[in-house]
């Protein structure tokens, strides 16, 4: 479970870590209303988690749309080590990081990161005119790779309008999980969809929840598949 605590300066958010894989808690924290000139303090988060990073990147994309910039400080040695092993993290510029993040050379990176739009989101993007989408030049994030015996894909993008083909995307995600154990969490500015598939043979239920509409249009996906 995650929570946030406002210090004397109400713009500084201190993150407390009690777990790393509860989507609703992460959602409530990272997709809460935006504050001015936010500083996120990670000094109480001992270990790196790609889910933390993914939600933080999505928030920074949404903040950028509002002409805001997040600052991250107090990163623990464990979190810094995790960031140093991500191929492409050094190119991310939508939040500022206080402190030095080393770059690890000479080894295979288990996770890679980019600001491209992942093809898995193509069903959502197909509803937009190509000219409009190219003119908008939306901000996006992709984080993918292996972490703690599972394959992870995190993909998010800010969209120019509300028209989204979510049923096709949801159908594709369910098909991807077919024959696997895993889960996905799909979030838009209005709703969330959670699928937990604990047995390979069964189809996991998809839980739907309405969300307070405080952001402009976006899509954010976390897909986890357990390695056999």
The rounded average pLDDT for each run of 10 residues, N- to C-terminus, in the chain (228 residues) is: 46 62 88 91 90 97 93 93 92 92 76 95 77 78 96 94 84 92 96 91 86 95 93
Residue 216's CB is within 10 A of a number of other CB atoms, namely: 14
How far apart are alpha carbons 75 and 65 in whole angstroms?
Answer: 25
Residue 128's CB is within 10 A of a number of other CB atoms, namely: 18
Whole-prediction pTM: 0.90
CB–CB of 158/216 below 8 Å? Answer: yes
| Alpha helix stretches (DSSP H) within the chain | 23-30, 50-65, 77-84, 122-125, 130-136, 166-177
Of residues 55, 58, 52, 9, the one with CA closest to residue 217: 58
Residue 46 has what pLDDT? 86
Residue 22's CB is within 10 A of a number of other CB atoms, namely: 13
How far apart are alpha carbons 80 and 7 in whole angstroms?
Answer: 23
Tokens 């990176």 — which residue? Answer: 109
Of residues 140, 138, 139, 116, the one with CA closest to residue 128: 138
Residue 109 has what pLDDT? 78
Residue 17 has what pLDDT? 57
The domain containing residue 42 runs over which residues? Answer: 2-226
Q: State how many domains the chain has.
A: 1
């Amino acid at each position: 479970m995650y929570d946030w605590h406002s210090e004397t300066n109400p713009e500084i958010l201190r993150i407390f870590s009690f777990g790393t894989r509860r989507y609703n808690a992460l959602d409530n924290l990272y997709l809460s209303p935006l504050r001015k000139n936010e500083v996120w303090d990670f000094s109480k988060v001992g270990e790196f988690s790609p889910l933390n990073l993914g939600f933080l990147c999505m928030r920074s994309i949404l903040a950028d749309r509002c002409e805001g910039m997040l600052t991250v400080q107090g990163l623990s040695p464990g979190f810094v080590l995790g960031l140093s092993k991500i191929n492409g993290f050094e190119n991310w510029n939508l939040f500022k990081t206080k402190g030095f993040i080393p770059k690890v050379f000479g080894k295979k990176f288990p996770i890679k990161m980019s600001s491209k739009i992942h093809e898995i989101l193509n069903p959502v993007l197909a509803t937009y005119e190509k000219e409009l989408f190219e003119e908008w030049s939306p901000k996006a994030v992709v984080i993918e790779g292996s972490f703690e015996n599972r394959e992870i894909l995190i993909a998010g993008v800010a969209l120019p309008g509300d028209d989204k083909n979510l049923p096709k995307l949801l159908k594709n995600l369910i098909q991807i999980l077919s024959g696997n154990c895993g889960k996905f969490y799909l979030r838009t500015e209005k709703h969330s969809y959670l699928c937990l598939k604990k047995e390979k043979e069964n189809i996991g239920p998809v839980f739907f929840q309405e969300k307070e509409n405080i952001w402009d249009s976006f899509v954010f996906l976390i897909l986890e598949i357990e390695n056999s």
